[in-house]
A and B are shown apart, each in its own frame.
Chain A
């Protein structure tokens, strides 16, 4: 059986189980999504968007899928502490794609109207609110991974910040993968910031057992007029995992968004980022940093869609690749005819530490307005030999000199992370990663081998 059929059958056979408490609008979303997937199938080898990352073989693997949360006995406080222990954040945990809340409320509603917690629960409790946003940003048509997620996802995190409310504490989503067999997970996040709302979200991805995991997640975020969203994802799964993230952000007038993806570990990682500038004067910045070695593969695919005038976007993506690892950056800036006075910038710099590492970089500008400022630049290189010799000539060892140059290279991206304590922590993690000291989940007590 071809892989797409496998998924169509999986869906049909379990249709009663998948989202069995779904209200009609979610049922409809699923049905539309599976129809879209039936039409598109998986991206083929010739599909330009997925030229460097062929995912069908991964989806073809023997992977189990949970339609209900499995009862896994595990004390997350005791055995697991995240690499980014923010002292002052609201932590929510997602285990194998399901909100994990032993003894806690599945959904928290604060006095100021902020709601956060299980998406599944939110669909049940606030169907009208969720309906307004769920699936309206990330289309399933011609987006096979969004389609599969929409069809199969059961749960994830919902965040709602009402008009004019500033979230005092960041919300930290910890995605954990733990299983006794190879496993596929589809989870889904929905973040809604009404006008003038401010929120910061940190997503940390971890694997807690050595099994093969395939995660296909969708995150939809809406930033209302003059709202401010800071969304950072830290990917630190083991190298036997595959992760496809699909992040769709829409921005209303004068809203500000900062999106960042830091990839430390993970076997095959594909990050799709789409930012739609729906209102005038919106600002966005997208940061990306990936560090790969061994057989890792990290592919960043971005589309910044400038639909309205006076919007600004800045993309900074950097990669450091060692051994036989591979990477790709494919970044598109699309400026629509109406989007005059657009300022859109993009840089992608890569360093290859070995002769066998490989990176593909492809900036794409499609500009249909005539009064815009756009630029892009991409580089692939080695560490600067002159700079290395300069450092060594001052008594610094070659190894230390290399690390100093790599730290400097990555600092360019890290320095743009706004939250100071988070910036500090990321600096430390990246430093450790470069020094080879960070092997997967740094603070995990499970010691499962790679």
Chain B
């Protein structure tokens, strides 16, 4: 589904990603872990199409298409979803208007008619249950005045509505209490299917107790320095990142 080949990314003149290789197949859940500043969020942003950096080298192939040539909105319409580490507050744009516009933009891209208002409301009600989101939140402006947990739930709620093929969840677990973490993970698990894939970017192992990954990668200094199965996450939990840092730095 997704092939990242030797991806190098600069922010201003600084190289943040120094040659990422990653292959994700439909049905898989990949976890990308790593210490702060290793380039995890930059990778997520590069996949979603944020434009404040330069891709200097390499390719991102998604479903046979070169992603780097697509605008952020077209990537979304092709089925890519980014769950933001820091969801943006947009005062004055109502959740309902935002979600309806998003869904209908996607439908238009697929050559479908806009969703009738009744069907849309029904769909919202249905998906709200998945993330146990408070009804009231959808009557407010996008993320405005939401608590940290509500913002993250709102990301998963949007994911449930938009039904992406590839979801990239950037630190979705950070700042969540144990109940919210359970709700968010349940949401993600319910949306798993053999047709879609998930990339979970996280600093901590605890999310992976709830969402069991097929592959775990460690990102350090802009490279994937180690990949393994879920036991790698356990190892990191027990020993921290230092042993990997030593290994990599000694090698260099």
Residues in A lying within 8 Å of B, measured CB to CB: 384, 386-387, 389-398, 400-401, 404-405, 407-409, 411-412
Contact = CB atoms under 8 A, between A and B. Distances in A.
A391 B90 contact: yes
Interface in B38-94: 48-51, 71-73, 75-77, 81-82, 84, 87-88, 90-93
B133 interface: no
B21 interface: no
What is the interface residue range for chain B against chain A? 20 to 34
B48 A394 contact: no
A140 B73 CA distance: 57
Given A395-B76, A395-B109, A404-B101, A390 B92 contact: no
B102 A394 contact: yes
B73 A398 contact: yes
Contacts of A405: 90, 92-93
A56 B88 CA distance: 47
B73 A390 contact: no
Contact of A395 (B97, B106, B141, B142): B106
Interface of B: 48-51, 71-73, 75-77, 81-82, 84, 87-88, 90-93, 97-98, 101-102, 105-106, 109, 141-142, 158, 162
A393 B47 CA distance: 11
Contacts of A407: 92-93
A389 B88 CA distance: 9
27 contacts: A386-B88, A387-B88, A390-B87, A390-B90, A390-B142, A391-B98, A392-B71, A392-B76, A393-B48, A393-B49, A393-B73, A393-B81, A394-B158, A396-B73, A397-B73, A397-B105, A398-B71, A398-B73, A400-B105, A401-B73, A404-B93, A404-B97, A407-B92, A407-B93, A408-B90, A409-B92, A411-B92
Given A387-B88, A407-B92, 16 more contacts: A386-B88, A389-B51, A391-B102, A393-B76, A394-B98, A394-B105, A394-B158, A395-B76, A395-B77, A395-B109, A396-B105, A400-B101, A400-B105, A405-B90, A408-B90, A408-B91
The 3 closest A-B pairs by CB, nearest first: A408-B92, A395-B76, A394-B102
A400 to B, nearest CB: 7
Contacts of A404: 93, 97-98, 101
A392 B76 CA distance: 8
B228 to A, nearest CB: 30
Contacts of B109: 395
Contacts of B101: 396, 400, 404
A387 B77 CA distance: 18
B175 to A, nearest CB: 18
Contacts of B90: 384, 387, 390-391, 405, 408
B93 A408 contact: yes
Given A404-B98, A408-B92, A411-B92, A395 B87 contact: no
Nearest to A395: B76
Nearest to B74: A395
Interface SS of chain A: helix
A84 B140 CA distance: 29
A79 B105 CA distance: 38
A396 B90 CA distance: 14
A389 B48 CA distance: 9
Contacts of B76: 392-395
Nearest to A415: B92
A395 B163 CA distance: 12
Contacts of B50: 389
Nearest to A401: B73
A392 B92 contact: no
B102 A396 contact: yes
B90 to A, nearest CB: 5
Contacts of B98: 391, 394, 396, 404
A398 B71 CA distance: 9
Given A389-B72, A400-B105, A394 B93 contact: no
Contacts of A392: 49, 71-73, 76
Contacts of A393: 48-49, 72-73, 75-76, 81-82, 84
A121 to B, nearest CB: 45
A52 to B, nearest CB: 28
A176 to B, nearest CB: 34
B106 A390 contact: no
Nearest to B141: A408
B82 A395 contact: no
Contacts of B81: 393
Nearest to A404: B93
A287 to B, nearest CB: 15
Contacts of B97: 404
Contacts of B93: 391, 404-405, 407-408
Contacts of A395: 73, 76-77, 102, 105-106, 109, 162
A393 B162 CA distance: 11
Nearest to B94: A408
Contacts of A391: 90, 93, 98, 102
B74 to A, nearest CB: 8
B100 to A, nearest CB: 10
B69 to A, nearest CB: 15
A410 to B, nearest CB: 8
Nearest to B73: A392
A411 B144 CA distance: 15
